[in-house]
Amino acid sequence: MSVIIRPVQKKDKEKWFQLWSGKEDSYLEFYKALDKVSDETSEYTWSRFFDDTVPIYSIVAEVEGEVIGFANYLTHKNTWTVEDALYLNDLYVSNKNRLKGVGRLLIEEVYKQADALNCNKCYWATSFDNYRAQLLYTKVGVDASKKIYLRPPR
């Protein structure tokens, strides 16, 4: 399987949305968040990938012309370094293409983008019960031993 990792393009919209918010085999479905992220928010997220004034990006994994996964990331200021940090916000590979190295390729490209954007800190989070992903993450990253807290719903 020959995988191409590249920046998302406007022509990828239909497939990206299917992987992002489809009813089956999608990122939001995996995280049981289909009812938590509105269509308006998804459209807005998509549009920001193509807005040069917003530091939000997406890359896709493609095999034989088909988009099979994506990584969405953003850069931001932080208080511990002069340089921006890069946060890998979303990583997803379609069910039938998992365990084939695609996730690793996406993360490696995110690392390259972090270097190109002068972001020494590159980090992400995952659910405690996302064991399959953690098998990869312990190979390509270091466990930060942090726990994330969220503001209660308003």
Tens digits of residue pLDDT in 112-148: 999 999 999 999 999 888 888 888 999 999 988 888 8
What average pLDDT does the chain have? Answer: 95
Percent of the chain with pLDDT over 70: 100
pLDDT confidence bin for 2, thresholds 50/70/90: very high
**pLDDT at position 148, please?**
87
pLDDT at 74 over 90: yes
**pLDDT score for 92:** 97
Residue 102: its pLDDT value, please? 97
Domain regions of the chain by residue span = 3-140
Q: In whole angstroms, give the CA distance from residue 149 to residue 111.
A: 25
Average pLDDT over residues 68-92: 97
Is the distance from CB of 135 to CB of 143 less than 8 angstroms? no
- The correct answer on CATH 3.10.129.10 for the domain covering 3-140 is no
Q: How far is CA 95 from the centre of its chain?
A: 15
* Residue 1 to residue 18: CA distance in whole angstroms: 21
Over range 26-53, report the average pLDDT. 96
Residues whose CB is less than 8 angstroms from the CB of residue 59 and which lie 6 or more positions away in sequence, other chains included: 5, 6, 7, 8, 70, 71, 73, 106, 109, 110, 113
The answer, yes or no, to whether residue 25 has pLDDT greater than 90, is yes
